[in-house]
Amino acid sequence: MKYRKLGDSDVTVSAVVLGAWAIGGWMWGGTDDENAIAGVRRGIDLGMTSIDTAPVYGFGHSETVIGQAISGIRDRVQILTKYGLIWDKTLGVFHFETQDNTGRMMKVYRHSGKQSVIEQCEQSLRRLGTDYIDLFQCHWRDTSTPIEETMEAMEILHKQGKIKAAGVSNWTAEEIDEARKVFPLASDQPPYSMVRRGIENELLPYCIDNNVAVIVYSPLQLGLLSGKMTMDRVFKPDDLRSKSPYFTPENRQKVINLCDRLKPIASSYGATIAQLVINWTINRTGITAALVGSRNATQAQENAGSADFKLSSEDKQAITEMVDGLSLNLPAQ
């Protein structure tokens, strides 16, 4: 496993980070806590020591499960969690309405007011069973709160020793630039994959120029790039992939064809297609690490192995040319 520093902070993370969204069950068709805990511990044993979660993943459930998984081994891991999405109060900007794991309708709001952020941090610490968070990230920008106020909360929590570093997720280069004038930001967490490369236009160059780490999420595009996707796969209504434009029959077939072309390269390294995709991603210029979901020990073991080989320059170029030539039919973003 490779380990990389987050910007100018003292936090170092594994290049492959265990993403814990699916562990929460919410929007992923349920969860199995016992398997999830086994997956987290297996990943840690294999060097995937960084874990990314958020309160909204299962409305507290993901953080609680992660807390159970790291009990007794907190000193071996780096916890990356988030703030800024709340469901227990009507504050800030309405984000969306959804069902929780029990079918109850929940309204989620973006809110990053100073006192709210401090309270959210305390709640996360309790669920995680720890007294500090390695990287505390704003999940989505709350336009009802000045960025300066949100960053003041980061300064307070940092001085109290409750967070080691601050980051953001889904923020623009302009928003990051404004925030950094108040408090240092170690990282940004945007979506990025072989089929979703929009950050290469503006955000990634900005982060490279300003030493802001980039921890990308969904490098396998919700499993579409795993090499295991089929045309006949049917998703439950509560699975977000059932409504994703990336999973239309046309787009799914195009990506399956890409994976078929990648298979011989993956095989030459003794790797799976998913491992090849992740390896290509974490070795792109400016990419610090990639979040990859694991719901059990088998998935964790495969994901952790993604950093264990080095692509030749020829294979890197061949893969990039394949990806550059892929054109999906997607709505304007």
Catalytic residues: 57
**Spatial distance between the Cα atoms of 27 and 38, rounded to a whole number of angstroms:** 21
Measured distance CA(187)–CA(138) in Å, rounded: 11
- The rounded distance, in Å, linking the Cα atoms of 118 and 162 is 10
State how far the alpha carbon of 325 is from the alpha carbons of 16, 29, 321, 322, in Å. 26, 33, 6, 5
CA atoms within 13 Å, Cβ hemisphere of 215:
35
Residue identified by tokens 């994976």 is: 259
Q: How far apart are CA 323 and CA 333, in angstroms?
A: 19
| 197 CB-near residues (< 8 Å, 6+ apart) | 323
- How far apart CA 331 and CA 329 sit, in angstroms, is 7
By 3-state DSSP, what share of the chain in percent is helix, strand and coil, each rounded to 5? 40, 20, 40
> What residues contact residue 152 under an 8 Å CB cut-off, 6+ apart?
114, 182, 183
Sheet with 105-110: strands ordered across: 85-86, 105-110, 93-99
Which residues partner with 12 through β-bridges?
Answer: 5
Element of type H or E holding 292: strand 289-293
